[in-house]
Amino acid sequence: MSCVAEIRQAMAEARAHTLRLVAEVDDADFRRQIHPDFSPVGWHVGHIGVTESYWILQQCKGEPSPSAVYDHLFTPTDNPKPNRVHLPPRAEILAYLHTVRERVLAFLERADCGSNHPLLKDASIFKMLIQHEEQHTETILLILHLLAATRYDSSPSPVLGEGRGEGLLLQNDMVLVPAGLFLMGSNQTADTLDNERRLPTEEEWEKAASWDLESYRKRPYPWGADPPDASTAHHDAHSDGTAPVGRHPAGSSLYGCQDMSGNVWEWTSTWFHPYPGFTAYPYEGYSVPYFDQRHRVLKGGSWATHRHVLRPTFRNWYHPWVREIFAGFRCATDP
Ligand code: AVJ
Ligand code: FE
């Protein structure tokens, strides 16, 4: 299996990242709940291991769980947040993580990416687990920031007051992003998470017509009869109406917008909802419970987002009142 080396490498990178962050935390902070919305660092560490064990050792390999106690402690639906301060010793959690990883790697060496097994096909479940760990490392990092803020005076420095940004902002004006078509979501099944996958049909375009500007009420070329003009050309569309389409919510770097990814997550006005044709993967609980009209989508990724998770189609989500994540706003308006 040719993908093994790449997966092994990415897993090692994610784990090194996790362990490097955890090494900075003392034992008291490891189990401290610094904020009611966020679990202790140590809980995230155990949860990373239990998730890996569940999907690879139990679901793929068919082995019994190495620890029913850990399963209970570190499965979010089994253990409510306020209770997550009651953790085993750090060394024990780290040893558990190591044991699980050794067994997972042994399985990976013999795994068949060409298999039709829904979890193993194209190494999907391994790719999901790498992104799972990296999402938790971003959360661990924000918890480290909250912990540090209790120790140091975090009130704004006077130099950050008035006038800041005048020399920094290269461009303060609004940028006109002409209406146009783009591919929303992804059909790269193995590399993405369930909520960003999309394969709508021509029929769905018609249902979605109410979203759009007057000029896009018609089906896009080449589905519709009219030839495209420059701004609507959509060269990737399949004429059979199976290509994904959408209206961009915020703009595009092509038109002079800056810092579109990797600085702070951008809050959008979009409720986290399923794209047409949504299928839960690898389990209902990953996205479905959050399609509740109470979570907003964030796009782009922050400075703390690992490249395994950084891509234009990635959809993050939080309750709109959450202030501790590495997020900001991009101002946008209709012309
Ligand atoms: C998408 C970052 C909000 O951390 O709760 C991790 C990702 N899902 N384990 C979260 C996730 C299951 C999720 N966020
Ligand atoms: Fe998780």
CATH of the domain at 135: 1.20.120.450
Q: Are residues 221 and 300 in the same domain?
A: yes
Which residues constitute the domain of residue 121?
Answer: 3-149
Instruction: For a ligand 1 pocket test, name from 134, 139, 281, 283 the mutation site with the most ligand atoms within 8 angstroms of its C-beta.
Output: 139
pLDDT confidence of residue 147: 92
Q: How far is the CA of 75 from the centre of ligand 2 (A)?
A: 8
Mapped onto helix, strand or coil, the DSSP state of residue 316 is: strand
Q: Are residues 176 and 79 in the same domain?
A: no
The CA distance from 128 to 282, in Å, is 8
pLDDT confidence of residue 157: 53
175 lies in some domain: yes
pLDDT confidence of residue 298: 94
164 lies in some domain: no
pLDDT confidence of residue 119: 95
160 lies in some domain: no
The CA distance from 53 to 31, in Å, is 22
Tokens 């993580």 correspond to what residue? 97
Q: Are residues 141 and 250 in the same domain?
A: no
Q: Are residues 128 and 238 in the same domain?
A: no
List residues bridging with 271 in a β-sheet.
296
Judge if the beta carbon of residue 295 lies within 6 A of ligand 1: no
Protein residue with its CA nearest to atom 7 in ligand 1: 135
The CA distance from 237 to 200, in Å, is 12
> Chunked in runs of 10, what are the mean pLDDT values of the chain (335 residues)?
85 98 96 96 98 98 97 98 98 98 96 87 96 98 91 58 47 74 80 86 49 42 39 36 44 64 89 92 97 95 94 94 90 79
Judge if the beta carbon of residue 137 lies within 6 A of ligand 1: no
pTM of structure: 0.83
Q: Which one-letter amino acid corresponds to residue 91?
A: A
> Which one-letter DSSP state was computed for residue 185?
S
Split into its structural domains, the chain has a count of 2
pLDDT confidence of residue 65: 97
The CA distance from 67 to 96, in Å, is 9
pLDDT confidence of residue 170: 54
Question: Quick one: which ligand is closest to 297's CA?
Answer: 1
pLDDT confidence of residue 203: 53
pLDDT confidence of residue 149: 84
Mapped onto helix, strand or coil, the DSSP state of residue 265 is: strand
Q: Are residues 117 and 179 in the same domain?
A: no
Across the beta sheet with 296-299, what order do the strands follow? 316-318, 296-299, 265-271, 327-328
Instruction: For a ligand 1 pocket test, name from 135, 290, 291, 298 the mutation site with the most ligand atoms within 8 angstroms of its C-beta.
Output: 135
> Which one-letter DSSP state was computed for residue 274?
P
Q: Are residues 80 and 128 in the same domain?
A: yes
Given 94, 116, 149, the domain boundary residue is 149
pLDDT confidence of residue 186: 87
Tokens 């979890």 correspond to what residue? 119
Judge if the beta carbon of residue 47 lies within 6 A of ligand 1: no
